[in-house]
Amino acid sequence: MPASTPTAGPHPVESGPGVPPLLARGVERRFGALRVLRGVDLTLAPGRLQLVLGPNGAGKTTLLRVLAGLTRATAGEVLVFGESPRGPAVRRRLGVLSHQSHLYDDLTPVENLAFAAKLYGLSEPDARSRDALRTVGLEQGADTPVRRLSRGTVQRAAIARALLHRPEVLLLDEPLTGLDPLSVGRIVGLLSAQLAAGTAVLLVTHSIAEVWSLADRVSVLGNGRWVIDEPRQGAWEDFTARLRASLDG
């Protein structure tokens, strides 16, 4: 699935040379007295994957919501291709997979994706939806209401929805959750193709082993700030041992 030429129409927001697909500077987020994010910085280049790890409650999901423009940062700024992620033009270039599928239980995956395709102004919404579902291996079940599908099938449909409009920036929260080994391999292959096509990917996961080889940078969020933020190096087992020591310490 090529990622660089979405067909959703003209993009008023330009990505000139040197403008990173995703940039966050000093991002803070408070919920009352609770400081969930404490000055997070990140820069994501085209075709790069940044792995975001961290224990439960470290602020990973909040970070993703802030980067996606769903939640405002209390301080700091987030720029997608140099613009706020809340603008409609930027939204066409952003794909998000969250813990929840964003699918309607009473509609089939094809109907759900066709609805999303129409929101993004894509041509031939039904055909595009079936294509997207095919790329995640979801031919069977494409016409079954979501409420009757298994957890893994719903997850694949949700991934197809996130990729449907061929976004140039992907924010993925635990994309491999609930998937069987075959599907994991397929989604990892899909991610690899996205990166090759120039898509910038921020990936929050606990499944380090499966995606380690795709990562360019590995960041660990602890108590709302990076406790590790470095280029990927070595084997994931070594990193995990170091991560455990870092979090314990």
Q: Using CB under 8 A, which of the segments 63-71, 134-142, 180-188, 207-215 binds another protein? A: 63-71
> Least CB distance from residue 236 to another protein, whole Å?
30
Question: Do residues 69 and 111 touch, judged by C-beta distance below 8 A?
Answer: no
**What does the angle CA 207 – CA 213 – CA 218 come to, to the nearest 5 degrees?**
70
Q: Is the dihedral of CA 118, 179, 55, 33 positive or negative?
A: positive
* Tokens matching residue 157: 């449909």
Residue placing its CB nearer to another protein in the complex, 149 or 243: 149
Residue placing its CB nearer to another protein in the complex, 115 or 226: 115
Q: Using CB under 8 A, which of the segments 35-43, 52-60, 67-75, 215-223 binds another protein? A: 67-75
Q: Using CB under 8 A, which of the segments 13-21, 73-81, 93-101, 129-137 binds another protein? A: 93-101
CA-CA distance, 7 to 197, in Å (whole number)?
Answer: 15
Residue placing its CB nearer to another protein in the complex, 66 or 243: 66
- Give Cα separations from 95 to 130, 133, 170, 244 (angstroms): 18, 15, 5, 31
Exposed e or buried b per residue across 12-44, where buried means at least 16 C-beta atoms within 10 angstroms of its C-beta? ebebeeeebbbbbeebbbeeeeebbbbebebeb
> Least CB distance from residue 101 to another protein, whole Å?
5
> Least CB distance from residue 99 to another protein, whole Å?
8
- Tell me the HSE value of 22 on the side-chain side, using a 13 A CA sphere: 31
> Least CB distance from residue 158 to another protein, whole Å?
8
Q: Which one of 37, 63, 96, 133 is in contact with another protein (CB under 8 A)? A: 96
Q: Which of residues 112-141 bind another protein (CB under 8 A)?
A: 115-116, 118-121
**Strand-pair partners of 225:** 222
Give kind and range of the element (H or E) at residue 227.
Answer: strand 225-231
Q: Which one of 92, 156, 166, 186 is in contact with another protein (CB under 8 A)? A: 92
Q: Which one of 38, 48, 60, 91 is in contact with another protein (CB under 8 A)? A: 91
Q: Which one of 106, 143, 180, 230 is in contact with another protein (CB under 8 A)? A: 106
> Least CB distance from residue 184 to another protein, whole Å?
22
Nearest to 62 by CA among 51, 73, 77, 46: 73
Q: Which one of 72, 148, 151, 206 is in contact with another protein (CB under 8 A)? A: 72
Q: Which one of 46, 47, 145, 152 is in contact with another protein (CB under 8 A)? A: 145
Strands (DSSP E) along 81-120, which ranges? 94-97
Question: Do residues 59 and 227 touch, judged by C-beta distance below 8 A?
Answer: no
Q: Which of residues 160-199 bind another protein (CB under 8 A)?
A: 161
Binding-site ranges for another protein (CB under 8 A): 8, 65, 68-72, 88-89, 91-92, 94, 96, 98-107, 111, 115-116, 118-121, 145-146, 161
